[in-house]
């Protein structure tokens, strides 16, 4: 039986990924590694923890000794590296943890995988490594050939990791794969990100903080479609290749806000507060995912109109999950992030 090391498995996308594999009955053992940072939450995989196919390990991808032990004990054959610091605003407050987990962590994981041997190493990256696009040229989208031009400490750290992954293919012929995806939404997303923050703020009777003019554009993809794409690349992607993943669903933040307000029965005037813009705020992201469609037959299956409703319903029905998060360390972050805005 194959053994897949899934790092960052207690985070938003990682937990959705392991849930998809377990519920699908994939013939694989999953070693779910997570440092359990502020964003990692065992509650995200509580329903899977007793499943014999899943082995949870608390640990850091920067810890070479721990990683080597996982190879020795479990015979890791494949790696899917989700583990990362993932929030742009936090990277603006301080980039140290981003360089540590996203750059050094990826390097340590690559080295252990190279020394111990691995059949596939999939790096989960982001469209943010390409920088920003003009809003008045809708025909231009990020392709896999677009030069890397990261603009935030977060995206710079992800781009550095992508370069390391690329170099291990070129220099050591390691069977690496890189995916670059657009903005995800869905269940279990940490409520510091736009959609879960706005939905939960409204349930708490708070306003939603819209950055700048609210016209920044993102390409929104339902998390299950991203997980399906990652599995497709792990199964059938060509080593050394990069695959862009996107929803073909460009929306600006005002539009997202309108949809959320409508679904939750709130008005713009009572609920929206324009706040100071994010420094270096990328204006537009748009992904050309035609390579995924052409080479691997993948396309998103969920329509935004339905999947956003499913997502909002999930936060309404799982208040204990996010109310437990929106306390403690989160409160300190929230006050610091939004105090001066
Ligand atoms: P997240 O912040 O919800 O989860 C990240 C997880 O990684 C957490 O469980 C955290 O505890 C863990 N982690 C962090 N540092 C670690 C370390 N050093 N060792 C082990 N575990 C560590 O993030 P997410 O939104 O689920 O993103 C997962 C990955 O997908 C990231 O690499 C991110 O860059 C990428 N990505 C995210 C999106 C998005 O829209 N959320 C889009 C494209 C790509
Ligand atoms: O594009 C993929 C990336 O998407 C991932 O690599 C990142 O891990 C993920 O966090 C996400 O980055 P963004 O910065 O695009 O996501 P965020 O949810 O933080 O912001 C989405 C948009 O909403 C962005 O234009 C900033 C804006 N925003 C965000 C917050 C948190 C607001 O207007 N107000 C807010 O309070």
The full DSSP string for 288-334 is: --HHHHHHH-------HHHHHHHHHHHHHHTHHHHHHHSSTHHHHHH
* Residue 339: predicted pLDDT: 84
Q: SS3 helix, strand, coil % of the chain, rounded to 5?
A: 45, 20, 35
Mean pLDDT for 181-209 is 98
| Token reading at 120 | 């596939």
pLDDT band at 244 (very low <50, low <70, confident <90, very high): very high
Instruction: Give me the half-sphere count of Cα atoms (radius 13 Å) on the Cβ side of residue 249.
Output: 23
C-alpha to C-alpha distance for 288 and 248, rounded to whole angstroms: 8
The pLDDT tens digits of the residues spanning 139-160 come to 999 999 999 999 999 999 999 9
**Which ligand lies nearest to the CA atom of residue 161 in the structure?**
1
Tokens representing residue 307 in the block: 């999947």
127 noted as active-site residue:
yes
Span 53-71, pLDDT tens digits: 999 999 999 999 999 999 9
Cα gap 11→2, rounded to integer Å: 23
211 Cβ closer than 6 Å to some ligand 2 atom: yes
- CA-closest residue to ligand 2 atom 4: 183
pLDDT at residue 332 tops 90: no
276-295: pLDDT as tens digits = 999 999 999 999 999 999 99
Q: Is the CB of 338 under 6 A from ligand 2?
A: no
CA of 166 to the centre of ligand 2 (A): 26
37 neighbors 85 (Cβ within 8 angstroms):
yes
* Cα–Cα separations (whole angstroms), residue 131 to 29, 145, 175: 37, 13, 27
* pLDDT confidence band for 328 (50 / 70 / 90): confident
pTM over 0.75: yes
Ligand 1 neighbours (beta carbon < 6 A): 7-8, 10-14, 33-37, 39-40, 60-62, 82-86, 101, 105, 124, 126, 158, 181, 183-184, 190
- Residue 125 Cβ inside 6 Å of ligand 2? The answer reads no
334 is catalytic: no
- Could you tell me if 183 and 219 are in contact, meaning their C-beta atoms sit under 8 angstroms apart? yes
pLDDT band at 241 (very low <50, low <70, confident <90, very high): very high
Report whether pLDDT(187) > 90: yes
Q: What was the pLDDT predicted at 213?
A: 98
DSSP string, 190-240: -TTSHHHHHHHHHHTT--EEEETTS--EEEEEEHHHHHHHHHHHHHHPPTT
34, 60, 130, 154: which is the annotated catalytic residue? Answer: 154
| Token representation of residue 32 | 């779910």
Three-state SS string over 265-289 comes to CCCHHHHEEEECCCCCCCCECCECC
Ligand 2 pocket, residue 183 CB under 6 Å: yes
**Angle at the Cα of 163 (from 98 to 234), degrees rounded to 5?**
90
Q: How confident is the model at residue 329 (pLDDT cuts 50, 70, 90)?
A: confident
Average pLDDT on 5-9 reads 99
For ligand 2, mutation pick of 125, 127, 199, 211 (most atoms within 8 Å of CB): 211
Q: Are 221 and 245 in contact (CB under 8 A)?
A: yes
Distances (CA, A) of 142 to 69, 98, 248, 278: 39, 24, 12, 22
pLDDT in tens, 116-137: 999 999 999 999 999 999 999 9
**What share of the chain in percent tops pLDDT 70?**
99
User: Does 295 participate in catalysis according to the annotation?
Assistant: no
Which of the 8 DSSP states describes residue 130? G
Going from the Cα of 231 to the center of ligand 2, the distance in angstroms, rounded, reads 24
Out of 34, 78, 128, 219, the active site residue is 128
Among candidate residues 78, 127, 219, 250, the one labeled active-site is 127
Rounded to the nearest integer, the mean pLDDT of the chain is 97
Specify the DSSP class assigned to residue 45: G
What is the number of other CB atoms lying within 10 angstroms of the CB of residue 267? 9
Q: Which residue's CA is the nearest one to ligand 2's atom 25?
A: 216
182: Cβ below 6 Å to ligand 2?
yes
Contacts of residue 233, Cβ cutoff 8 Å, sequence gap at least 6: 122, 177, 179, 243, 292, 296
């Amino acid at each position: 039986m194959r053994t897949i090391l899934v790092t960052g498995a207690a985070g938003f996308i990682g937990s959705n990924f392991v849930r998809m594999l377990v519920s699908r009955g994939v013939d694989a053992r999953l070693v779910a590694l997570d440092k359990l940072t502020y964003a990692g939450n065992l509650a995200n995989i509580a329903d899977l923890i007793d499943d014999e196919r899943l082995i949870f390990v608390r640990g850091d991808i920067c810890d070479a000794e721990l990683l080597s032990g996982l190879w020795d004990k479990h015979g890791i054959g494949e790696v899917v590296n989700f583990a990362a610091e993932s929030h742009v605003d936090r990277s603006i407050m301080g980039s140290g943890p981003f360089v540590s987990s996203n750059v050094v962590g990826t390097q340590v994981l690559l080295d252990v995988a190279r020394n111990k041997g691995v059949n596939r190493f999939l790096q989960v990256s982001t469209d943010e490594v390409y920088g920003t696009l003009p809003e008045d040229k809708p025909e231009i989208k990020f392709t896999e050939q677009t030069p890397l031009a990261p603009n935030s400490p977060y995206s710079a750290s992800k781009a550095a990791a992508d370069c390391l992954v690329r170099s291990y293919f070129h220099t050591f012929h390691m069977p690496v794969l890189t995916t670059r995806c657009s903005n995800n939404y869905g269940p279990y997303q940490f409520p510091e990100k736009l959609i879960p923050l706005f939905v939960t703020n409204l349930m708490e009777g708070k306003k939603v903080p819209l950055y700048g003019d609210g016209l920044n554009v993102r390409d929104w993809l339902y998390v299950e479609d991203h997980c399906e794409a990652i599995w497709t690349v792990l199964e059938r992607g060509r080593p050394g290749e990069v695959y862009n993943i996107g929803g073909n669903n460009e929306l600006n933040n005002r539009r997202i806000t309108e949809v959320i307000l409508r679904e939750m029965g709130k008005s713009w005037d009572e609920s929206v507060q324009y706040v100071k813009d994010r420094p270096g705020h990328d204006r537009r992201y748009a992904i050309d995912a035609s390579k995924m469609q052409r080479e691997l037959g993948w396309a998103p299956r969920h329509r935004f109109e339905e999947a956003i409703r499913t997502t909002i319903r999930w936060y309404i029905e799982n208040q204990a999950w996010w109310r437990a998060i929106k306390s403690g360390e989160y409160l300190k972050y929230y006050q610091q992030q939004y105090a001066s805005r």
